[in-house]
A = this chain, B = another copy of it.
Amino acid sequence: MAARTFSLQTLQRLPYYLDFLRGLETENISATALAAEFGLNEVQVRKDLASVSRQAGRPRKGFGRKALIVDMEDVLGYGRIDKAIIVGLGHLGTALANYRGFENYGLKIVAGFDKKFEGEGRLNDMPVYPAQALVEQVRRLKVKLGIITVDGANAQEVCDRLVEAGIKAIWNFAPLMLQVPEGIIVQNENMACALAVLSHHLRG
């Protein structure tokens, strides 16, 4: 199978489609109906579906629900498990580390790190290491995804060490843009950005 490629926007719509399809009772669903459900343009939905699934839609019936679900789960990587580590076990970090729901999204946090830890600890099932052990443990665990929940002042340094250790993707909750080399992807989660849009709309 050729290495398919998906636009950022398409990827971000998939979880919504999938969720809806899972709750659906009928056997078939048309792009038209999906579009109506989400308030999207129906051509856009068709393109999204075409990009994830090889199955052709049938006039007057639409697409097979089950096959769509399988294809989307495959693209989204649910089913397989990506291992992740989390750096920074403050309020947010701890909450994320304790959150069980990630396994439904194919994510398992296999270790946590915090500069305040000495020796080796545990947070529920998850082993916790001091920050110095970061590179060594990430390499040992062969983890490709790092979650950064340290404060802004330390985030870039943590990021650099994750990259050094071979991380390929970073989920960044610190309020700054991390600098990473080519080939590493960063997903920023910054509430100030969301608020910027909302707040401006309230004035606009």
Taking Cβ atoms with an 8 Å cutoff, the residues of A that contact B are 3, 5-6, 8, 11-12, 14-16, 19-20, 38-39, 75-77, 82, 91, 95, 102, 105-107, 144-145, 152, 168-169, 171, 175-177, 179, 185, 187, 189-204
Contacts and interface: CB of A to CB of B under 8 A. Distances in A.
- Among A176, A177, A192, A203, chain B packs the most CB atoms within 10 A around the CB of A192
A114 B20 CA distance: 25
15 contacts: A8-B197, A15-B195, A16-B175, A16-B190, A19-B152, A20-B176, A39-B179, A77-B203, A105-B191, A105-B192, A106-B195, A168-B201, A168-B202, A169-B198, A185-B201
Q: Is the interface of A mostly helix, strand, loop or mixed?
A: helix
A102 B191 CA distance: 9
A185 B168 contact: no
Contacts of A177: 16, 38-39
A106 to B, nearest CB: 6
Contact of A200 (B76, B194, B198, B200): B76
